[in-house]
Amino acid sequence: MARSKSSSRWLKEHFADPFVKKAHAEGVRSRAAYKLEELIDRHKLIRPGMRVVDLGAAPGGWSQLVARELDGRGLVVAMDILDMPSIAGVRFVHGDFREEAAVSQLEALLEGQPVDLVLSDMAPNMSGVEAVDRARAMYLVELARDFADLHLAPGGTFLVKVFQGVGSDAYLLDLRRRYEKVQVRKPSASRKRSPEVYYLATGKR
């Protein structure tokens, strides 16, 4: 089947992307790792001994980076509905974050201990219908927020990808009631035309 013009244009742009080239050269699983790397460097998000949960982890770029930063001095638990090849220093749960059984499996790996950092780079499969996609995306970020509410230690940090649009401002205000400080960040590796931003919430109340 012939590719559409938009598909061909995306592929051309993708393989010309400097962050894609950098990821291939450095053996990094996804260009998204450079978004997190910038935020880690800027905000000193990783400390030895941390317990970190990465929601929507596949293909594993974020978990790979966090495990490298911790260098065996901490715990990284990753979860995704998609399978993910193993990463040294990362415990992986293959399951749907919307289902209680998968979340229970993740919680078992935490052994009842609180988490210092919750990461969520989750995004829904896009249907192309904007209203549907926005609702699905907001549902995922709300689930991630609720997980952080339950499992983050007081003073902990929550980093979540949000697509700006209907519901995102209200979500930001809600986070500001739950955390001491919430900042909006758009890392250099985020494509400029994308509505994605990252809300960095620190100091869980």
Helices 130-151 + 100-110 axis angle, to 10 = 30
Q: Which two tokens stand for residue 91?
A: 């415990």
Query: Residue 121, annotated ligand binder?
Result: yes
Is 71 known to sit in a ligand binding site?
Answer: no
Residue 99 is classified by DSSP as: S
Is residue 60 part of an annotated ligand binding site? yes
C-alpha span between 148 and 51 (Å, rounded): 13
Handedness of CA 144, 146, 151, 154 (dihedral sign): positive
62 marked as binding residue: yes
Outline where DSSP puts E strands in 17-165.
51-55, 75-80, 90-94, 115-120, 152-163
Residue 83, marked binder: no
- Residue in 161, 181, 192, 204 annotated catalytic: 161
Q: Is 44 considered catalytic here? A: no
**CA-to-CA dists, residue 16 to 12, 22, 37, 38, 122, angstroms:** 6, 11, 21, 21, 24
76 near 91, Cβ under 8 Å? yes
Which helix H or strand E contains 181, and what residues bound it? strand 179-185
Angle formed at CA 43 by CA 49 and CA 138, multiple of 5 degrees: 95
Binding positions are 60, 62, 80, 96, 121
Annotated binding site for S-adenosyl-L-methionine, which residues?
60, 62, 80, 96, 121
Catalytic residue numbers, as ranges: 161
